[in-house]
Amino acid sequence: MRSHLVPGLALLAGLGVSHPASAQQHGAPAPNIAKPNMVLQQVVEGLPTDDKQTVRVMTATFKPGDKTVYHTHRFPVTVYVLEGTFTLELDGRPPITVKAGEALVEPPKVPMTGYNRSTTEQTKVVIFYVSANDTPFLDLMSH
């Protein structure tokens, strides 16, 4: 099984690479090297295998009590929580709750609803979606 980086984090993979000591000539102080912080690493199934894919990076803000429509995704969706708490209810599974600074992967083809269960705080998320070209972000489900 091939390992996949969480979509979007692959862009950060080169940050930890240092260059030869050219900046340290003549007693110059060593530069600070930016290194990525691993938030989530997970093997997933169901990513598209076409020669080309579409990458979407979206943001969403949930006011207290807001929820998503009841839906599925055709491919895995990665959600990173910037602010507040996000609760995901997947059919037939216990709810998953993630807080600011945490992430989760929504599996493909499983009916779900996402919630901000707080009565006082908003929730802000960043959503990463890699799909086959011309694929809708979600498919509505009926209860």
79 strand-pairing partners: 104, 127
Nearest to 126 by CA among 3, 9, 4, 5: 9
Domain spans, the chain: 45-140
Instruction: For residues 71-76, give the mean pLDDT.
Output: 98
The verdict on pTM exceeding 0.85 is no
**Sequence-separated (6 or more) residues with CB below 8 Å from residue 70:** 111, 112, 113, 140, 141, 142, 143
Instruction: For residues 2-9, give the mean pLDDT.
Output: 43
pLDDT (0 to 100) of residue 13: 43
Per CATH, is 45-140 categorized as 3.90.1150.10?
no
**Sequence-separated (6 or more) residues with CB below 8 Å from residue 81:** 98, 99, 100, 101, 102, 103, 123, 124, 125
Burial class (CB in 10 A: 0-12, 13-18, 19+), 49: exposed
Average pLDDT value for the chain: 87
* pLDDT tens track for 83-113: 999 999 999 999 999 999 999 999 999 999 9
